[in-house]
């Protein structure tokens, strides 16, 4: 894009947004955090982790559905409650509404076709975790089915129905953090394995009848922060030739570095048993012990910053989208307001309301198709960079409790940047930008800079970032 703007003429709006452009500068700065981007270092296809999210209830309406479609969500993990849809042997209520702890049935679809229909409306496919063994089939002491033949028949009926209604659905998990929740507190690993085996039997029988659609895949163990149990489960699958099509678990952490090490540990276990090429489906992930019934602007900014920094941690495993992290949750519920991507009903019943985590998804969806090298010398500042023929995009995060300067050096820009002025945009999420709790009128993703830079093969920027800030710069020729 050609422009006659001089550096002096473009400086005013940039200073107002607390950043300083050092065009072609070689000045050495005492950096709070220096980010170095090498546009010539193509690291392969960009892993768009905005493709994935976890939810346990439907969005408010079609406007919210479109919001999720706009950020490119492809796969959504949710519960499918056997106890809700199968009220007695051979009787199914596919559109049953949840009641009780999950909230009023008229506003919170949960655990049946209603929620899966909502996922389809968002342009995604459902990954279901089968939960809630029906009371008519459940042993009151062990929590396991009292009759395995009846259990497998029920599973076959459910899966046949689901493949008929959602033919592209692939992933089927079993239970949810079964050692603590889902009414399965009496379940040992051996009990889970027995239930898994019978579920796998029923799934295989359904797959044998399918034609022209993807086959169903079963996986587990769906525990949270428990790599030890996961390893034992994989060993059991291997030693007993039990089908497994993906490995699933939940990952809540306080430290970003723990994410990379945990995923690498799981991958090592998978390779040990010959499962190294299977997907890692992380059914829930996020900031550990951070759920709150209330929210503040700083709290929501921290959630968004952790989300974006965690995406860098997943990239550092080198597994790309073989790892599929499902941020919890698209639509929060009682007790988990601040974990929501969309604004939950309890905070605002109007459609089209978003929390900062949604704006993180929006920025991730704006990344370019190839990942390029991006490094930081500060453990509190993280960066993700991308490039293609349309431009260069750099996402950077201050995941710390104090303001920091980010000194960004973008080197080896493509040749298209060398001869014409460069268009520069910057977007920002922090405690006072793109933040529902600070300003409902400015809750969407805010562009804080829009200017023109002189041509060149490299650019340097200095940006002051508030605590728990997430920002995206986009350079286009």
What is the reported pLDDT for 349? Answer: 73
Quote the pLDDT of residue 181.
60
Q: Please tell me the distance from the alpha carbon of residue 359 to that of residue 327, in angstroms, as a whole number.
A: 13
CATH of the structural domain 49-365, one choice from 3.40.50.720, 3.20.20.80, 3.10.580.10, 3.40.50.300: 3.20.20.80
Give the model confidence (pLDDT) of 59-82 as tens digits.
888 999 999 999 999 999 999 999
Of 271, 169, 262, 178, the C-alpha closest to 220 is 178
End-to-end CA distance of the chain: 6
Distance, in Å, from the CA atom of 104 to the CA atom of 334, rounded to the nearest integer, reads 11
Backbone angles phi, psi at 179, to 5 degrees: -75, -15
Q: Over 50: is that where the pLDDT of 15 sits?
A: no
Section 424-446 average pLDDT: 97
Q: Is the pLDDT of residue 4 over 70?
A: no
Residue 105 has pLDDT above 70, yes or no: no
Distance CA 26, CA 458 (A): 10
Give the C-alpha separation, 405 to 353, whole Å: 31
Does the structure show a pLDDT above 60 at 13?
no
Which is it for strands 370-376 and 33-45: parallel, antiparallel or unpaired?
antiparallel
Average pLDDT, the chain: 89
**How sure is the predictor about 269, in pLDDT bands with cuts at 50, 70 and 90?**
very high
Note whether 159 and 207 are within 8 A (CB): no
Distance, CA of 260 to CA of 268 (rounded, Å): 12
Q: How do beta strands 370-376 and 19-22 pair? A: unpaired
What pLDDT is stored for residue 22 in this prediction? Answer: 41
- Please report the pLDDT score of residue 142 as a whole number: 85
DSSP string for residues in 42-100: EEEE---GGGEEE-SS--SSHHHHHHHHHTT--EEEEEEEHHHHEEETTEE-TTPPP-G
Q: How sure is the predictor about 259, in pLDDT bands with cuts at 50, 70 and 90?
A: very high
| Predicted local confidence at residue 138, as pLDDT | 94
* pLDDT digits 0-9 by tens, 352-364: 999 999 999 999 9
Helix/strand number for the chain, H first, E second: 10, 20
283's enclosing H/E stretch is strand 280-287
Q: Give residue 412's pLDDT.
A: 98
| Higher-confidence position of 133 and 184 | 133
Q: Report whether pLDDT(14) > 70.
A: no
Task: Say how far apart CA 343 and CA 356 lie, in whole Å.
Answer: 9
Give the closest residue to 409 by CA, choosing from 13, 22, 44. 22
Mean local confidence (pLDDT), 375-403: 95
147 pLDDT more than 80: yes
Among 55-59, 100-104, 463-467, name the one with the lowest average pLDDT. Answer: 100-104
pLDDT at 345: 76
Q: Give domain limits for the chain.
A: 7-45+369-476, 49-365
DSSP conformational letter for 300: H
Residue 184: the pLDDT is: 52
Decide if pLDDT at 106 tops 70. no
pLDDT of 432 over the 60 cut = yes
| Superfamily grouping for domain 7-45+369-476 | Golgi alpha-mannosidase II (2.60.40.1180)
Task: Mention every residue, 6+ apart, whose C-beta is less than 8 A from residue 24.
Answer: 454, 456, 458, 459, 460
Residue 186 pLDDT grade (very low, low, confident, very high; cuts 50, 70, 90): low
Q: What is the pLDDT of residue 19?
A: 47
CA dist 159 and 14 (Å) reads: 56
> In which band, very low, low, confident or very high, does the pLDDT at 16 lie, cut at 50, 70 and 90?
very low
Alpha-carbon separation of residue 407 from 161, 380, 404, 449 (angstroms): 55, 13, 10, 16
Judged by average pLDDT, the poorest of 137-141, 331-335, 466-470 is: 331-335
pLDDT at residue number 109: 61
Query: pLDDT for 157-183, tens place per residue?
Result: 999 999 999 999 999 999 999 887 645
Q: What is the pLDDT of residue 32?
A: 87
pLDDT band at 332 (very low <50, low <70, confident <90, very high): confident
> Residues near 9 by Cβ (< 8 Å), separated by ≥ 6?
none
Confidence band, pLDDT 50/70/90 cuts, at residue 335: low
Q: Is the dihedral of CA 128, 132, 135, 137 positive or negative?
A: positive
pLDDT number for residue 3: 32
> Helix, strand or coil for residue 427?
strand
Share of the chain above pLDDT 90, in %: 79
């Amino acid at each position: 894009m050609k422009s006659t703007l001089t550096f002096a003429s473009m400086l005013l709006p940039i200073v107002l947004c607390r950043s300083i452009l050092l065009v072609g500068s070689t000045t050495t700065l005492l950096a709070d955090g220096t980010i170095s981007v090498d546009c010539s270092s193509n690291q392969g296809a960009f892993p768009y982790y905005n493709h994935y999210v976890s939810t346990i209830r439907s969005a408010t309406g079609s406007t919210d559905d479109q919001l999720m479609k706009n950020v490119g969500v492809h796969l959504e993990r949710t519960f499918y409650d056997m106890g809700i849809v199968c009220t007695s042997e051979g009787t199914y209520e596919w559109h049953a509404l949840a009641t009780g702890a999950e909230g009023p049935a008229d506003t919170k679809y949960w655990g049946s076709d209603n929620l899966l229909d909502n996922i389809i409306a968002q342009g995604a496919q459902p990954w279901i975790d089968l939960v809630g063994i029906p009371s008519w089939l459940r042993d009151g002491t062990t929590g396991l089915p009292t009759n395995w033949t009846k259990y497998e028949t029920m599973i076959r009926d459910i899966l046949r129905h689901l493949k008929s209604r959602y033919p592209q659905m692939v992933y089927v998990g079993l239970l949810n953090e079964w050692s603590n929740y889902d009414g399965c507190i009496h379940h040992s690993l051996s009990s889970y394995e027995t239930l898994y085996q019978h579920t796998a039997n029923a799934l295989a029988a359904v797959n044998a009848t399918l034609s022209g659609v993807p086959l169903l895949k079963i996986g587990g163990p769906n525990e949270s922060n428990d790599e030890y149990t996961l390893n034992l489960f994989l060993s059991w699958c291997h030693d007993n030739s039990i089908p497994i099509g993906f490995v699933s678990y939940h990952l809540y952490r306080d430290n970003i570095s723990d994410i990379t090490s945990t995923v690498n540990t799981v991958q090592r276990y998978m390779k040990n048993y010959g499962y190294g090429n299977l997907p890692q489906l992380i059914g829930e992930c996020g900031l550990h012990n951070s759920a709150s019934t209330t929210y503040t602007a700083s709290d929501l900014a921290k959630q968004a910053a952790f989300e974006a920094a965690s995406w860098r941690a997943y990239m550092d495993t080198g597994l790309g989208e073989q790892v599929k992290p499902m941020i919890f949750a698209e639509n929060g519920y009682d007790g988990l307001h601040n974990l929501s991507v969309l604004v939950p009903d309890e905070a605002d019943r109007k459609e089209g309301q978003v929390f900062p985590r949604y704006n993180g998804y929006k920025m991730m969806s704006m990344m370019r198709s190839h990942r390029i090298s991006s490094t930081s010398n500060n453990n509190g500042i993280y960066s993700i960079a991308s490039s293609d023929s349309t431009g260069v995009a750099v996402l950077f995060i201050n995941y710390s409790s104090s303001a920091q300067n980010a000194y960004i050096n973008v080197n080896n820009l493509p040749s298209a940047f060398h001869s014409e002025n460069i268009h520069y945009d910057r977007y920002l999420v922090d405690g006072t930008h793109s933040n529902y709790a600070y300003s409902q009128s400015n809750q969407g993703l805010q562009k804080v800079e829009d200017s023109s830079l002189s041509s060149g093969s490299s650019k340097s920027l200095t940006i002051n970032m508030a605590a728990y800030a997430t920002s995206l710069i986009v350079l286009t020729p």
